[in-house]
């Protein structure tokens, strides 16, 4: 992600020598966005960076909204849909009069809530989130990103709602709520798992394995803890772990691969390691969770008949 923004920032630097109304680059930008000196909106260079970034993602229509007849909230994911497991969600607000991006927005207090129909009763629960929407390193302030890891898909009368507070130009936050559809994993894919330790239930959310290729890849995950009451969003766990991994190919005799490293806690609250995938196909990533302070196994230490941990993610590349 940082590489993408570095490239876009370099492009913006080259363009900055031109007048802000210069239309010599035909990327659709000037035909869709009007740069008219509106102090609430991005400059031409900032708007072009946001515009070019958003060309690489797709809008989620369910999360769009018109605000006070003046603004339009847009939300995007890599596919234009929400799925079970980890989702990055990107937000911008545009002015309807010129389609330019508003610089000063905050999006916070996310509450995803599942209502499960259980006959005469209903049960409600939330799911892991990554906090408030924030600026990505190197990006203009108009582009915000958050993440949500949905525990389960929508299914008939089992429905997800998604609420948040939106503040435009520091005029005071308004709360919005949308009913959303969360799609199931593709067949054979499992990117979210839970484990119990320290009298808590933890959720392991694997980040965007659909972008992996053969060879060495960064493997990134978050560890969240189930809240009490469970209608509150699940926050990142305070406990520190080390997540050991053994990738195998169950369709190829469970052969593994060399040069994998454990996932360890980073400053942003994520867990990061490296995984080496030597060929395409289904990979089962067996996990052993250790307490970072004591090195004791807290989950995943049990073995299945194949000799590997019964706690795992399934990813096909």
pLDDT digits (tens, 9 = 90+) for 219-259: 999 999 999 999 999 999 999 999 999 999 999 999 999 99
3-class state of residue 84 by DSSP: coil
What pLDDT shows up at residue 12?
A: 43
Select from 111, 9, 82, 102 the least CA-distant residue to 91: 102
Query: Average pLDDT for consecutive 10-residue bins of the chain (317 residues)?
Result: 43 39 53 87 96 97 96 97 98 97 97 92 96 94 98 94 97 95 95 95 97 97 97 97 97 95 97 98 97 96 76 97
Which residues, other chains included, contact 35 with Cβ-Cβ below 8 Å and sequence gap of 6+?
20, 21, 41, 43, 44, 47, 98, 100
Question: What is the helix (H) or strand (E) element at residue 241, kind and residue range?
Answer: strand 241-248
3-class state of residue 151 by DSSP: coil
Ordered alpha helix ranges (H), 39-156: 44-54
State how far the Cα of 115 lies from the Cα of 161, in Å rounded to an integer.
8
Digit-coded pLDDT (tens) for 177-199:
999 999 999 999 999 999 999 89
For residue 160, list its beta bridge partners.
Answer: 114, 180
Give all domains of the chain, ordered by start, each with its CATH number.
2-183 (no CATH), 192-316 (2.60.40)
φ and ψ of 51, to 5 deg: -60, -45
What pLDDT shows up at residue 30?
A: 66
3-class state of residue 46 by DSSP: helix
Write down the residue that tokens 């949308």 correspond to: 178
What pLDDT shows up at residue 211?
A: 95
**Under 8 Å between Cβ of 93 and 140:** no
What pLDDT shows up at residue 118?
A: 83
Write down the residue that tokens 């769009």 correspond to: 64
What pLDDT shows up at residue 36?
A: 85
Q: What is the pTM of this model?
A: 0.89
Structure tokens, 21: 């109304």
State how far the Cα of 274 lies from the Cα of 209, in Å rounded to an integer.
12
Write down the residue that tokens 């003046």 correspond to: 70
């Amino acid at each position: 992600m940082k590489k993408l923004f570095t490239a876009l920032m370099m492009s913006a630097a080259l363009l900055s020598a031109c007048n802000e109304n210069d239309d010599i680059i035909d990327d659709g930008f000037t035909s869709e966005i009007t740069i008219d000196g509106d102090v609430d909106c991005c400059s031409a260079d900032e708007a072009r960076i946001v515009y070019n970034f958003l060309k690489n993602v797709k809008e989620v229509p369910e999360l769009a909204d018109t605000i006070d007849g003046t603004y339009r909230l847009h939300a995007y994911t890599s596919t234009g849909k929400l799925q079970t497991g980890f989702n990055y969600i990107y937000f911008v607000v545009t002015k309807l009069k010129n389609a330019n991006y508003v610089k000063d927005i905050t999006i916070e207090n996310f509450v995803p809530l599942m209502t499960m129909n259980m006959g005469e009763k209903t049960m409600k629960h939330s799911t892991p989130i990554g906090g408030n929407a924030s600026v990505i390193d190197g990006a203009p302030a108009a582009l915000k990103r958050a993440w949500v890891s949905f525990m389960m898909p929508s299914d008939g009368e089992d429905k997800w709602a998604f609420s948040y507070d939106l503040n435009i130009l520091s005029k005071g936050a308004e709360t919005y709520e949308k009913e959303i559809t969360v799609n199931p994993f593709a067949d054979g894919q499992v990117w979210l798992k839970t484990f119990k330790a320290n009298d808590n239930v933890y959720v392991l959310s694997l980040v965007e394995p659909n972008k992996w290729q053969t060879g060495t890849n960064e493997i990134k995950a978050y560890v969240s803890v189930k809240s009490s009451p469970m209608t509150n969003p699940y926050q990142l766990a305070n406990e520190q772990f080390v997540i050991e991994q053994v990738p195998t190919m169950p369709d190829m005799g469970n052969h593994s691969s060399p040069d994998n490293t454990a996932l360890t806690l980073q400053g942003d609250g994520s867990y990061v390691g490296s995984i080496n995938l030597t060929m395409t196909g289904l990979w089962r990533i067996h996990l052993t969770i250790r307490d970072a302070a004591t090195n004791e196994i807290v989950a995943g230490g049990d073995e299945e008949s194949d000799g590997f941990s019964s706690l795992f993610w399934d990813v096909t590349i």
